[in-house]
């Protein structure tokens, strides 16, 4: 079950489920958001979050992804949501956004009253986004390592089982041949049992096969 958490930036309060980049198809997410905005459909709180992380979820050129995301964000009719999304994009991409895209976002923010209010908070929020993304990538890496170790252990155990079974099978064949030889030599059943470790029933069964 995904964890519910809250985000409170100035006068905007958001509640959404924790999401992971590996859960999303970046191109599909972009198309869905574009469809909503082009058709003036209401954006949900999670849609705003998806806009913020959209540049991180796409495999195309990062700067182009940021530029496309900015163009989408410009279409948001609610000034508060627009400013929140733009500031979030800066925060989420602060490690690689180029000056041109950064200036474009700042110009958009300057055009909204709310943009100036969240300027001081974007650094803290950006650090949180970056930390969450880094932690998720680290978790995925650890899970992959654990899975490989588990598969390796299972393979080793399977080989040990197969080896043990082969040894037991060979032992049975050897004991059977020894028992046949001893019976042919007229050795009594009790002595054969002591020499081979076979039960009386097993020795008698081999004796019956000889007869």
CA contacts within 13 A on the Cβ side of 209? 12
For 31-58, letters b (16+ CB in 10 Å) and e give eebeebbeeeeebeeebbbbbbbbbbbb
Percent of the chain past pLDDT 90, that is, above it, reads 33
| Mean per-residue pLDDT of the chain | 82
| pTM, to two decimals | 0.46
pLDDT reading at 10 higher than 60: no
Q: Is the pLDDT of residue 115 over 60?
A: no
């Amino acid at each position: 079950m995904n964890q519910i958490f809250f985000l409170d930036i100035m006068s905007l309060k958001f509640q959404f489920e924790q999401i992971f980049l590996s859960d999303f198809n970046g191109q599909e997410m972009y198309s869905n958001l574009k469809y909503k905005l082009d058709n003036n459909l209401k954006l949900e709180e999670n849609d705003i979050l998806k806009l913020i992380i959209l540049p991180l979820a796409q495999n195309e050129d990062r700067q182009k992804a940021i530029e496309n995301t900015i163009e989408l964000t410009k279409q948001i009719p609610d000034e508060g949501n627009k400013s929140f999304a733009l500031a979030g994009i800066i925060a989420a991409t602060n490690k690689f956004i180029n000056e041109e895209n950064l200036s474009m976002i700042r110009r958009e923010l300057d055009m909204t009253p709310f943009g100036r209010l969240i300027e001081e908070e974007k650094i803290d929020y950006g650090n949180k986004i970056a930390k969450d993304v880094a932690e998720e990538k680290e978790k995925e890496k650890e899970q992959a390592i654990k899975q490989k170790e588990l598969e390796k252990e299972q393979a080793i155990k399977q080989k040990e089982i197969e080896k043990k079974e082969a040894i037991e099978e060979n032992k049975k064949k050897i004991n059977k041949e020894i028992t046949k030889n001893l019976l042919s030599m007229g050795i009594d059943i009790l002595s054969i049992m002591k020499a081979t470790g076979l039960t009386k029933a097993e020795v008698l069964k081999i004796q019956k096969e000889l007869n």
